[in-house]
């Protein structure tokens, strides 16, 4: 199975959906932030390993705590994933903290600030004329 085959894409989507459900509804670790989402999942073609990109809407400390909670609950999460998704092998999951959403929000704020200051400058110039 090639990396970008239709079958692999479907498996990635199914594993992502189930991991999101497991993290939101079944894992009871208090370290895991309630605003945690699975951004994307990359399952290896041999189904032995999986990279799960996790985004946490919160502080950097909350992100680290969430990652620690997910790593400590790895056995439970993998067991629940095996029950939910019928695969030949249940992949070993590696959780990776993805900060792209946070970066996007930060860049959006910066753009809004620049646009706002530009509009203020134009209004000040108009009032002088």
Q: Is the pLDDT of residue 1 over 60?
A: no
The pTM of the whole model exceeds 0.85: no
Say how far residue 36 (Cα) sits from the centre of its chain: 7
Residues 6+ apart with CB under 8 A from 120: none
Please, which pLDDT band fits residue 123 given cuts at 50, 70 and 90? confident
Phi, psi at 95, each rounded to 5°:
-90, 130
pLDDT score of 51 = 95
Provide the pLDDT confidence category of residue 119 given band limits of 50, 70 and 90.
confident
**Between 121 and 27, where is the model more confident?**
27
Upper half-sphere CA count for residue 67 (Cβ side, 13 Å): 20
Q: 97, exposed or middle or buried, with CB in 10 Å at 0-12, 13-18, 19+?
A: middle
What percent of the chain lies above the pLDDT cut of 70? 97
């Amino acid at each position: 199975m090639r990396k970008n085959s239709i079958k692999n894409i479907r498996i990635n989507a199914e594993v992502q959906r189930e991991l999101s459900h497991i993290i939101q509804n079944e894992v009871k670790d208090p370290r895991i932030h309630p605003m945690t989402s699975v951004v994307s999942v990359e399952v290896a073609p041999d189904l032995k390993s999986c990279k799960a990109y996790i985004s946490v809407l919160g502080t950097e400390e909350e992100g680290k705590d969430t990652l620690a909670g997910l790593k400590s609950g790895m056995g439970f999460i993998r067991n629940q994933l095996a029950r939910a998704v019928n695969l030949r092998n249940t992949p070993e999951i590696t959780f990776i903290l993805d900060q792209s959403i946070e970066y996007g929000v930060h860049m959006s704020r910066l753009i809004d600030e620049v646009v706002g200051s530009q509009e203020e400058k134009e209004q000040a110039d108009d009032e002088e004329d």
